[in-house]
Amino acid sequence: MKIAVLPGDGIGPEVTREALKVLDALALPQLTLFEGDVGGIAYKRHGHPLPAETLEMARAADAVLFGAVGDPECDTLPREYRPEQAILGLRSELGLFANLRPAAGFPGLEDLSPLKPELARGIDLLVVRELNGDVYFGDKGERDSAGGREGWDDMSYNEAEVRRIAHSAFRAAQKRRKKLTSVDKANVLETSRIWRETVIELAGEYPDVELDHMYVDNAAMQLVRSPGQFDVIVTGNLFGDILSDQASACVGSIGLLASASLGERTTEFGTFGLYEPIHGSAPDIAGQGKANPVAAILSLAMLLRHSLGRDADANRIERAVAASLSSEIRGADLGGSASTQEIGDAILRHLQAIA
């Protein structure tokens, strides 16, 4: 089993270190780790945020464990050299079109959510975010206009792109509470009209799944008003990015939510994938030991489940995280004072107790 570890920038290396501690404690046989540079650190060391050797390392692995990219010192570079291009490049080069972002309330954290505790307790949803298309990957640029410099980004989705992510979402719903909400802006966008019509066409193949549609503005509102109504949400790249950060705040902190990015490639043990927290490099707290490593540790659990076929280990990690959170060892993001390392150590202790 080969895992490519790409810690990246800012808090990426800090949270990835804690995830690797947990992985180490599992003492998996025949596991090889490869570590590569990605993001701002890769630009500074190799002149490119996604060096060819990093991409090759990712390709050759069964799974990629990714930290975060983003470095304020790189913000004024031409777009192709900016750290964020590295994660976009990995997602598209590796064909990872389905981004699963689960958000569920943790016992003991209800009072830390900005929502009423009874609402926070009811959150158990999965955002299935399309990851290879939309306005992220359309043509873009800058041109002159009567109003001065004008930036433009093409937004598009074709039927094939919608179909493959919709299949992923319907299948995910079948394994959960069988309810799928497709989120779009079909009252305004042609992209969304094709999206909605294509999802409806596919629904006939999944008669056991209840499908509804919601405009994204309403979805953002419903997510804070009554999040318990959602089971699986399927949406495009941009809307999924925004709604998943919002869902994380409803649960309690962006430091809690993990993600899996999957495509069609399978490995000897499962599905090839890239696993990362939904948060970024958090330059405002980097290097201070304040980052919550839970999202990174839960991303490792998703890696074990989807790419390495190790469900029991994944479940054990998830139980250890839940136990640790309810034991009130929490970081600054959750009103506590535990450091990144102390949170990792606490999870490790719970993991060993669960064995």
Ligand X SMILES: NC(=O)c1ccc[n+]([C@@H]2O[C@H](COP(=O)([O-])OP(=O)(O)OC[C@H]3O[C@@H](n4cnc5c(N)ncnc54)[C@H](O)[C@@H]3O)[C@@H](O)[C@H]2O)c1
Binding site for ligand X (CB under 6 A): 11, 15, 68-70, 84, 87, 254-255, 276, 279-285, 291-292, 295, 333
Phi–psi pair at 72, nearest 5 degrees: -55, -30
Which region among 47-55, 144-152, 234-242, 313-321 touches Mg ion (by CB under 5 A)?
Answer: 234-242
Q: Does the annotation list 331 as a binding residue? A: no
Give me the active site residues, please.
136, 185, 217, 241, 245
Q: Does the annotation list 292 as a binding residue? A: yes
Residue 120: contacted member of ligand X, ligand IPM, Mg ion, none (CB under 5 to 8 Å, by partner type): none
Q: Do 288 and 331 touch, CB atoms closer than 8 A?
A: no
DSSP string, 230-241: -SEEEE-HHHHH
Cα separation of 332 and 124, whole Å? 24
Comparing every residue's Cβ against Mg ion, the nearest one is: 241
Of residues 234-273, those binding ligand IPM (CB under 6 A):
241
Give all strands of the β-sheet with 98-104 in edge-to-edge order.
32-35, 2-8, 63-68, 271-277, 258-266, 98-104, 124-130, 232-235, 179-184, 210-215
User: At its nearest, how many Å lie between Mg ion and the CB of residue 281?
Assistant: 11
User: At its nearest, how many Å lie between Mg ion and the CB of residue 307?
Assistant: 22
Among 87, 120, 297, 334, binds ligand IPM (CB under 6 A): 87
User: At its nearest, how many Å lie between ligand X and the CB of residue 113?
Assistant: 15
Question: Shortest CA distance to 103 belongs to which of 277, 235, 313?
Answer: 277
Q: Does the annotation list 169 as a binding residue? A: no
Close Cβ partners of 145 (under 8 Å, ≥ 6 residues apart): none
In one letter, which amino acid is 151? G
Residue 88: contacted member of ligand X, ligand IPM, Mg ion, none (CB under 5 to 8 Å, by partner type): ligand IPM
Cα separation of 6 and 34, whole Å? 9
DSSP string, 105-131: PPTT-GGGSSS-HHHHHT-EEEEEEE-
Q: Do 56 and 38 touch, CB atoms closer than 8 A?
A: no
Among 278, 286, 321, 322, binds ligand IPM (CB under 6 A): 278
Nearer to ligand IPM, 241 or 313 (CB): 241
Among 241, 276, 313, 333, binds Mg ion (CB under 5 A): 241
Annotated binding residues, as ranges?
91, 101, 129, 217, 241, 245, 280-292
Q: Which positions touch Mg ion (CB under 5 A)?
A: 241
Annotated binding residues for Mg(2+), as ranges?
217, 241, 245
